[in-house]
Amino acid sequence: MRQTGGVFVHDALPMRVVFGAGALDKVAEEVERLGLSRILVLSTPRQGALAARVTTLLGDRAGGTFDGARMHVPVASVVAAEEAVGAAGADGCLAIGGGSTIGLAKALSLRLGLPSVVVPTTYAGSEMTPVWGLTEDGRKRTGRDPVVLPRSVVYDPDLTHALPAAVSGPSGLNAIAHAVEALYAPDGTPVVSAMAERGVHDLAAALPTVVADGADAAARALALQGAWLCGACLGATTMGLHHKLCHALGGMLDLPHAETHAIVLPHVAAYNLPFAPEADTVLRRALATDDVPSALRALAARVGVPAGLRALGVDHADLARVADEVLAAPYRNPRPPTRGDLEAILEAAWRDGP
């Protein structure tokens, strides 16, 4: 993070946000504001009911649905979605769901220039970033391009009430990971630091209640607000070791995205924060703790994050391949890792120990 007394540059992304209970009813207005006339609605198979609801709200502007969004955005799914765009004659898309569906919308924007409106139903935060990802042949490629930014983001906390506790907890920790990395990113700013502190605080405060009582409207709204802020932090900065590890794990082993981030986060924090004292100070305030990695592990356990990568079915023998992938194209990090460092982090994350 840059010192507040020096010169810094903060690029404010051109994002429009509609936030609040019942905001889903505004989607047709958002589409109309953009001048779009034929919308392809994107979802996963499990979000079919929500996709149908959005289609009804769009009325004559609904051009069809595509429910083939998949985790890690496989290229094959994108190609199928492109065919659906052509068949519908779509001039825009509306993604409703989590990171998989939003990632598909980004891929269509990247490859076809298709503008999007997104309605997040988890705490992934992808909607706030110009980061895209595509997976092919067991390898996940990522990049940054402003063309993938949604034209409008509609946050409706009511849509998260049905999010199961087993999804809510890891999804919230995934969002926190975005803010943690932004705090020690080389292009961080005081603006990012402020958003990160508030986002981490809000999510840490809300997640235990959300997991205990998914219908708690105030907690759901606070968590979604925190996810928005944490996602915006990632959108404004470059990624470090945590995201590189999770991209390698997810792309190579097809692991669940949020759970992987939630498990890895405390271990990378323990590795990096001694070399990022300003970030550590901010996180201590946000989490009301003197030991950030321990607080993150305790929060993860409290909200039902699986106990280690082995709980996700990771074979111990795969850890060496993951380390190879990270070393082949490392991201900038406050503490450049050696192979031994990576093996130690992955080992700890695999067995869920310090």
Q: Which residues of the chain have pLDDT under 50?
A: 1-3
Domain ranges of the chain: 23-155, 165-351
The CB-based long-range contact list for 7-13 (8 Å cut-off, 24+ gap) reads 8/189, 8/190, 9/187, 9/189, 10/189, 10/191, 10/192, 10/236, 11/236, 13/128, 13/130, 13/146, 13/149, 13/232, 13/235, 13/236
What pLDDT is stored for residue 174 in this prediction?
95
Contact 226, 203 (CB under 8 A): yes
pLDDT in tens, 156-168: 999 999 899 999 9
What pLDDT is stored for residue 124 in this prediction?
86
pLDDT in tens, 6-30: 788 877 777 899 999 999 999 999 9
Q: Is the domain covering 23-155 a CATH 3.40.50.1970 domain?
A: yes
- Distances in whole angstroms, Cα of residue 12 to Cα of each of 15, 28, 232: 8, 26, 9
Whole-structure pTM value: 0.92
What pLDDT is stored for residue 353 in this prediction?
65
What pLDDT is stored for residue 5 in this prediction?
57
Q: Give the architecture-level CATH label for domain 165-351.
A: Up-down Bundle (1.20)
